[in-house]
Amino acid sequence: MATPATENSLTEALKGRTLVLASTSPRRIEFFEKLGVPFLARTGDVREHYPDTLTDGREIVQYLSRLKARAAGPLAPQEIIVGADTLVWADGRPLGKPRDEQEAEATLRALSGRTHEVLTGVTLRSVTDEESFCCATRVTFLPIDPRDIRYYVSRFSPLDKAGAYAIQEWIGETHIASIEGSYHNVVGLPTAQLYQRLKKFAARG
């Protein structure tokens, strides 16, 4: 019988390096655990604002991910920091986290029966290098009955969710018509893309 492998290709690429997640989000921590590599989680003080000159969603999420990655420093020589930011983008504007249940219901009414994008910007940062990329996923909702909107908002309280929903919850199971792109990106982190990018980033030293 073959000896079980103890390392994956990313573990080998990161030998001698320390991976740091610039987030304390339970969902992102869970995703990092699934990458199968050791990591630390730490954050700094970040004001999640961007210049008015940025109007493209892809540029905005990359800008915010850079803020988070830079705020988690200072970097030790062996560290690689990963910062990430996710926005729901519809009608040319971001839909952030709702302030209350009324705003959550209004957001879901706006998404009902339509297609929107979920954009995640990711920044990889070391002492000598930095790169950012964006992953985009198109999500189409079926028409959502107002009773189902009220049920979801009152039962699941999605006030901490961009776009007022989590695809892995009831509303995703019952009202998503289609997804084009990474499912994990919609949940909060494009793990497949991140895995490949991290290997290349680490190889550059």
Asked if pLDDT for residue 184 goes beyond 80, the answer is: yes
Pairing status of strand 176-180 against strand 130-141:
antiparallel
HSE-CB of 146 using CA atoms within 13 angstroms:
2
Q: Which of the residues are catalytic?
A: 85
For the chain, the 3-state helix, strand and coil shares in percent, each to the nearest 5, are 40, 25, 40
What phi-psi label fits residue 163: left (phi over 0), alpha (psi between -120 and 50 degrees) or beta? left
| 67 vs 35 pLDDT, higher one | 67
% residues pLDDT > 90 (the chain): 80
Asked if pLDDT for residue 3 goes beyond 70, the answer is: no
Q: Which domains does the chain have, with CATH numbers?
A: 9-203 (3.90.950.10)
> Is-above-0.95 flag for pTM?
no
Provide the sign of the torsion angle of the four alpha carbons 135, 39, 81, 69, taken in this order. positive
Asked if pLDDT for residue 45 goes beyond 90, the answer is: no
